[in-house]
Structure 1
Amino acid sequence: MVAGSCGALMKAQAAPAPSTPTVLVVGDSLSAEYGLRRGSGWVALLADKALAEKPGFQVVNASISGDTTSGGRARLGALLAQHKPQVVVIELGGNDALRGLPIKMTEDNLTQMVRACQKAGARVLLVGMQVPPNYGATYTEDFSRTFARVAAAEKTALVPFLLKGIADGPDAERLFQADRIHPREEAHPRMLANVWPELRRLLK
């Protein structure tokens, strides 16, 4: 769990006041500041952005490094009950692919998470991920389409690829940490730029 430099970003265990509009981010290491200086990840930057452009909203980062869609689905109910968010950002699925888990299972987990959020009265932004081509063309393409299928079926907002302009850009190698999985600090403003246009529409 990550607490940012701005007071608008709250730890997941510290529930905000019920009257405070909340954005809940449920993600994995890409959102949990893995290998980064605290407060420099895209969720912390989001808290600052929301404070500046949408005063009154606060951001709760409930992301956990290594989490899968199964893990997110298992803990989502408690997070919804605790934080009563107006908007939920779901950034999960990358670790499913890294572990070679069945795409159908990932899709079902994402679908059930979206439905649980909507049932709780929250608007949802689904954040998509892509995997390298070495996973095979069929798996790579089907995995990428999973997020769009869920978003279309459940009528929810979508960011097709969190790492657009980073993983597929000309300076991709420079923008990643040594593990070639996690973006460096300087890439996180780009990640926020990918998310913010869609998220902004949900902050009413």
Structure 2
Amino acid sequence: MIRKISFVLFLILSFAVHSKTLLVLGDSLSAGYNMSIEQSWPSLLPNVISQEHNQTIEVINGSVSGDTTGNGLAKLPALIEQHTPDYVLVELGANDGLRGFKPNLVKDNLNEIISLSQSSGAKVFLMQIRIPPNYGKRYTQLFENIYPDLAHSNQVTLVPFFLEHVIQRADWMMDDGLHPKAQAQPWIAEFVANQLQPHLD
């Protein structure tokens, strides 16, 4: 009996030691827009990483629908203090772009988010964000370039934009043409897991 209890305690302690924490800092694309939070891809991510990559990770979803890079920057210090994440995945900028914010402002906010995360000791993943082409070729190109430029200058991993794949499936998209349905979330979770896994310790 004592041996069984000791073994269970060993497993619990091993889990606590080896489990890493990922903070997802995003907007409605990660917040489970118009669905239960349990259906959102960040909620599904730990199970995918565990089953397909044999790694244990806890995901803290700090995403809020409507958030801009400025909103993310404002709340990041409290999230870092509360959760001390090992990794931070930044999925922000879509709302900035849709509102026509100046690219330099978006870039500065994202740069500060990356800097704060790295200063805390977290490894950062930056997700590429793209906006519809109706904002004009010059603006959309300037906006798109923000992400690879920051990834290069800060030496962080650039994660491809999952929406580019999802949007090709009309049955996976909500009527607004902007947000993936619940049916798309398992695929997104697997896509993100495959992008992150090579870079997880």
Instruction: State the TM-score, normalizing by the size of structure 1.
Output: 0.84
Contact (CA 8 Å) 2:46, 2:56: kept in 1 or not?
Answer: no
> 1:55: how far off?
3.9
Contact (CA 8 Å) 2:68, 2:92: kept in 1 or not?
Answer: yes
Q: Which has the larger radius of gyration?
A: 2
Residue 144 of structure 2 aligns with which residue?
Answer: 144
Bigger mean CA deviation after superposition, 63-72 or 34-43: 34-43
How many residues are matched? Answer: 185
Residue 9 of structure 2 aligns with which residue?
Answer: none
Q: Are 2:183 and 1:186 aligned? A: yes
Taking only aligned residues, the RMSD between alpha carbons, in angstroms, comes to: 1.8
> 1:54: how far off?
4.3
Contact (CA 8 Å) 2:174, 2:181: kept in 1 or not?
Answer: yes
Give, as a single letter, the amino acid of the residue that structure 1 aligns with 2:44.
L
> 1:146: how far off?
1.1
Identity %: 37
Residue 86 of structure 1 aligns with which residue?
Answer: 86
Contact (CA 8 Å) 1:127, 1:160: kept in 2 or not?
Answer: yes
Q: Are 2:124 and 1:127 aligned? A: no
Residue 102 of structure 1 aligns with which residue?
Answer: 102
With over 3 angstroms needed to count, the CA separation of the structure-2 counterparts of 1:144 and 1:58, relative to structure 1, is: same
> 1:62: how far off?
0.8
Residue 46 of structure 1 aligns with which residue?
Answer: 45
Q: Deviations over 1:43-97 (max 9, x none)?
A: 1121211333344321111111100000100111111111111111011000001
Residue 158 of structure 1 aligns with which residue?
Answer: 158
- Secondary structure of the 1:29 match is coil
CA distance in 1, matches of 2:194, 2:42: 14
Residue 200 of structure 2 aligns with which residue?
Answer: 203
The residue correspondences of 1:165-184 to structure 2 (distance < 5 A) are 165-167=165-167, 169=168, 171=169, 173-184=170-181
Residue 57 of structure 1 aligns with which residue?
Answer: 57
> 1:157: how far off?
0.5
Higher helix share: 2
CA distance in 1, matches of 2:139, 2:42: 29
Give, as a single letter, the amino acid of the residue that structure 1 aligns with 2:22.
V
> 1:35: how far off?
0.9
CA distance in 2, matches of 1:48, 1:177: 25
Give, as a single letter, the amino acid of the residue that structure 2 aligns with 1:164.
E
Residue 118 of structure 1 aligns with which residue?
Answer: 118
> 1:191: how far off?
2.3
Instruction: State the TM-score, normalizing by the size of structure 2.
Output: 0.85
CA distance in 1, matches of 2:58, 2:106: 29
Contact (CA 8 Å) 1:175, 1:183: kept in 2 or not?
Answer: yes
Structure 1 segments (4+ residues) deviating >4 Å: 17-20
- Secondary structure of the 1:63 match is coil
Give, as a single letter, the amino acid of the residue that structure 2 aligns with 1:78.
A
CA distance in 1, matches of 2:56, 2:194: 18
